[in-house]
Amino acid sequence: MKKIVSPINSRPDRLPPGQHWTNKLHVLGISDPPDTDLSHYRLRIFGEVEEEIVLTWEDILDLEKVNLIADFHCVTRWSCPDVSWTGFQSLEIKKLVKIKDTAKAVMIHSLDGYTTNIPLEYFFDEDVIFAYRLFDKPLPADHGFPLRLVVPKLYAWKSAKHVSGIEFLSENRPGFWEQRGYHILGDPWKEQRYSV
């Protein structure tokens, strides 16, 4: 299996300002994890693409698997080192759909109604993956079953759990927390916690 260690793990300033290390991935979510039956699960890729597609769980398992090791930085100030995730890279999506030149960002949609926005330069980074395993076990319900995004270079609220849709946007617009005062980008090294 292809292995990726996020470049953030070897930064000289590995721990972003205002953060402290913890050895646990604390569960944070806007609601209880949704019940999901894999035989009914679908991932829709739509918006600024030539032709939208819908993937089944089997389609997802057929995508090239990668293991990612990356620190995880939550805006509530805890950081968990060396989390191990397995799934497929966001870059795989470029092989599945033709993205229009007008696309500038993505909105990730989740089964619990959560959304979050990410500009394309961050979304298509090598260390961005959609994960279905955590520390080599199936992804637990409260950590995002069946599929979650992992974006190591941004605060953890951008790492949407229970992902059901990837929408390509012609203009970046705010998701759930971004509409409620969180920063539109969320770079932990620039302490982009809030928009004001």
Binding site for ligand MTE (CB under 6 A): 25-30, 74, 110, 112, 114, 143-144, 156-157, 159-162
Based on the shown chain and the rule CB under 5 A, indicate whether residue 28 belongs to the binding site for Mo ion.
yes
Which of 109, 161 has the CB closer to Mo ion?
A: 161
- Least distance from C-beta 157 to ligand MTE, angstroms? 4
Which of 3, 113 has the CB closer to Mo ion?
A: 113
**107 binds, options Mo ion, ligand MTE, none, Cβ within 5 to 8 A by partner type:** none
DSSP bridge pairs for 182? 194
Long-range contacts, stretch 182-188, CB < 8 angstroms, 24+ apart: 182/75, 182/155, 182/157, 183/155, 184/117, 185/119, 185/122, 185/154, 186/75, 186/154, 186/155, 186/157, 186/158, 187/153, 187/154, 187/155, 188/16, 188/19, 188/73, 188/75, 188/154, 188/155
**143 binds, options Mo ion, ligand MTE, none, Cβ within 5 to 8 A by partner type:** ligand MTE
**Residues 139-168 interacting with Mo ion (rule: CB under 5 A):** 157
Residue in 47, 24, 184 with CA at minimum distance from that of residue 109: 47
- Least distance from C-beta 107 to ligand MTE, angstroms? 13
**57 binds, options Mo ion, ligand MTE, none, Cβ within 5 to 8 A by partner type:** none
Phi, psi of 57 (to 5 degrees): -60, -40
For 90, counting Cβ atoms within 10 Å of its Cβ (0-12 exposed, 13-18 middle, 19+ buried), the class is buried
Which of 22-30, 93-101, 129-137, 146-154 is the region at the interface with Mo ion (rule: CB under 5 A)?
22-30
- Least distance from C-beta 116 to ligand MTE, angstroms? 7
User: Which residue ranges make up the site for Mo ion (CB under 5 A)?
Assistant: 28, 74, 157
